[in-house]
Amino acid sequence: MFEPRYVSDLLQKAVDAFARLPGIGPKSALRMALYLLKQEEAEAENLADSILELRKKVVYCSSCRMISDAPLCPVCSHPQREQGVICVVENVRDVMSIENTGSYKGLYHVLGGIISPIDGISPADLAIEPLLERLQKGNVQEVILALSTTMEGETTCFYLYKKMAQFPLKITTIARGVGFGDQLEYTDELTLGRSIENRQPFKPE
């Protein structure tokens, strides 16, 4: 374990603060602190300001619960997004991943987690009620469940499915199957089995 003895309390404080960030150990934290010491003061100020602004000004979208700079996020307020489709995801990062594919034009709903009795996360801890309120308004035709393919994800899908049964909706899940570029011999049996069951017509391009 690294311990910069006889050096600088200020350095130690900065190293400790960096080392609290996820994926950052004491050695990386030291490297980051020493780097900042060598840069212009403006560099450190820019980093500090970005951190404070991020934490103080970023809010959650009142509709989809995505992080946003404004009360309504850019997706929800975009005139060209399909207002009738909602893609339900676990967290903010999933929205970013789907946005980065560029193949989705509807809206999102961030649950903030998935049902997991082991981690003490019950349906009440998730943004399920706000989702049902959005559906209540009646202009949604399809809900896409884009959750993890784990047991917790499947449980959450099933729970949401039951809750949404009262609405005249098309409920879909994202396709599961063998990933592009994957070799069959290295694909797990469950995935391979399901991908054969859910086989689709071949479309020559």
Q: Which of 64, 65, 66, 126 binds its own copies (CB under 8 A)?
A: 66
Distance CA 103, CA 111 (A): 21
Q: Is 7 in the site for its own copies (CB under 8 A)?
A: yes
Cα dihedral 174, 117, 134, 60 sign: negative
Cβ at position 102, least distance to its own copies in Å? 8
Burial class (CB in 10 A: 0-12, 13-18, 19+), 28: middle
Q: Is 45 in the site for its own copies (CB under 8 A)?
A: yes
CA-atom Rg of the chain in angstroms: 22
Q: Is 10 in the site for its own copies (CB under 8 A)?
A: yes
Residue identified by tokens 């399920």 is: 128
Q: Is 158 in the site for its own copies (CB under 8 A)?
A: no
The H or E element spanning position 96 is helix 92-101
Cβ at position 4, least distance to its own copies in Å? 5
Cβ at position 193, least distance to its own copies in Å? 32
Task: Give CA torsion, residues 70, 75, 76, 82, to 10 deg.
Answer: 170
Cβ at position 87, least distance to its own copies in Å? 13
Distance CA 63, CA 85 (A): 13
Q: Which of 85, 88, 95, 135 binds its own copies (CB under 8 A)?
A: 95
Q: Is 93 in the site for its own copies (CB under 8 A)?
A: yes
Cβ at position 110, least distance to its own copies in Å? 12
Cα distances (Å, whole numbers) of residue 94 to 101, 147, 173: 11, 9, 14
Interacting span for its own copies (CB under 8 A) from 60-68, 118-126, 138-146, 179-187: 60-68
Interacting residues with its own copies (CB under 8 A): 2-11, 13-14, 16-18, 20-24, 28, 30-37, 39, 41, 43-58, 66-69, 73-75, 78, 92-93, 95-96, 99-100
